[in-house]
Chains A and B, each alone.
Chain A
Amino acid sequence: MQLTTEIRKDYMIVKLKGELDHHTSEEARKKIDKQYFNNNLLNIILDLRELNFMDSSGVGLIMGRYKNCMNRNGKISIVSTNPYINRILKMSGLLKLVKIYDTIEEAIRG
């Protein structure tokens, strides 16, 4: 899995590439939280468009970041177009808490 971050205003844009499972979500969690707290950021956009695999550990990762954002009165959004990943997001009830967009621009516009 590859993770890159970009900061635009008070948004941290996290792009995940490859496979998000229990093994890789632990790395992802450390990297995201470090950037988020060290730079005192508010909102997170998770770009999942280049993920080709995600299981319920990915759901746990998103839930955890959702809680961090809520604690700061920030918000988290997801950019995802892969039907298999969207299916898990929907199944887990995450879409009741977090909005899903097709592009980063749409996610920023909200």
Chain B
Amino acid sequence: MVEKNNNRNYMKLEFLSKSSNESFARVVVAAFASQLDPTIEELSDIKTAVSEAVTNAIIHGYEYGEGLVVVEATIEDNRLDIVVEDFGKGIEDINKAMEPFYTSKPDLERSGMGFTVMETFMDKLEVESEVNKGTKVKMSKVFKSLSRKE
């Protein structure tokens, strides 16, 4: 059999850190992922995870100030890799930030469940951050639908 790797695709989206862009970002990534023939559940997972990461960039990274949020997505066979990046405040203690229910902004009615949602709905989650430089959230998910058909 000939090794084929034609199922590679890439997209990049850059937008201002406005909360009205949260739905824009998750819909774009979900539309991009649709070429992997996802189930409704897989689409819901992707949308929710992107929404969490983008919301964090806006409220924690930039603390409602103006900045740029970059979302990249790569398709590699039946895997989708997503990167959400901001150039804001950064995270001092990543392990603590990722604990379920931890939030640095309880006054804003945050639930502290964002990272837990990303971890649960995606297959892999990695967070890189540097104080006053920014935060990069990398997530991936393997889509079952394509492999099922083979």
Contacts and interface: CB of A to CB of B under 8 A. Distances in A.
A21 B111 contact: no
B117 A22 contact: no
Contacts of A64: 109
B41 A84 contact: yes
Contact of B19 (A23, A59, A84, A93): A23
A55 B48 contact: yes
Interface of A: 19, 21-23, 25-26, 29, 53, 55-57, 59-61, 63-64, 84, 88, 91-93
B104 interface: no
A91 B113 contact: yes
A53 B101 CA distance: 21
B136 interface: no
Interface residues of B, number: 25
Interface of B: 19-20, 22-23, 26, 41, 44, 47-48, 51-52, 55, 58-59, 101, 108-114, 116-117, 120
Contacts of B113: 56, 59, 91-92
Contacts of B26: 53
A83 B24 CA distance: 23
A91 B116 contact: yes
A61 B110 CA distance: 8
A22 B18 CA distance: 11
A84 B113 CA distance: 15
Closest 6 CB pairs of A and B: A23-B19, A56-B113, A59-B111, A60-B109, A60-B111, A64-B109
A26 B47 CA distance: 19
Contacts of A57: 55, 110-111
B71 to A, nearest CB: 15
B58 A56 contact: no
B49 to A, nearest CB: 9
Contacts of B19: 21-23, 26
Contact of A21 (B22, B41, B116): B22
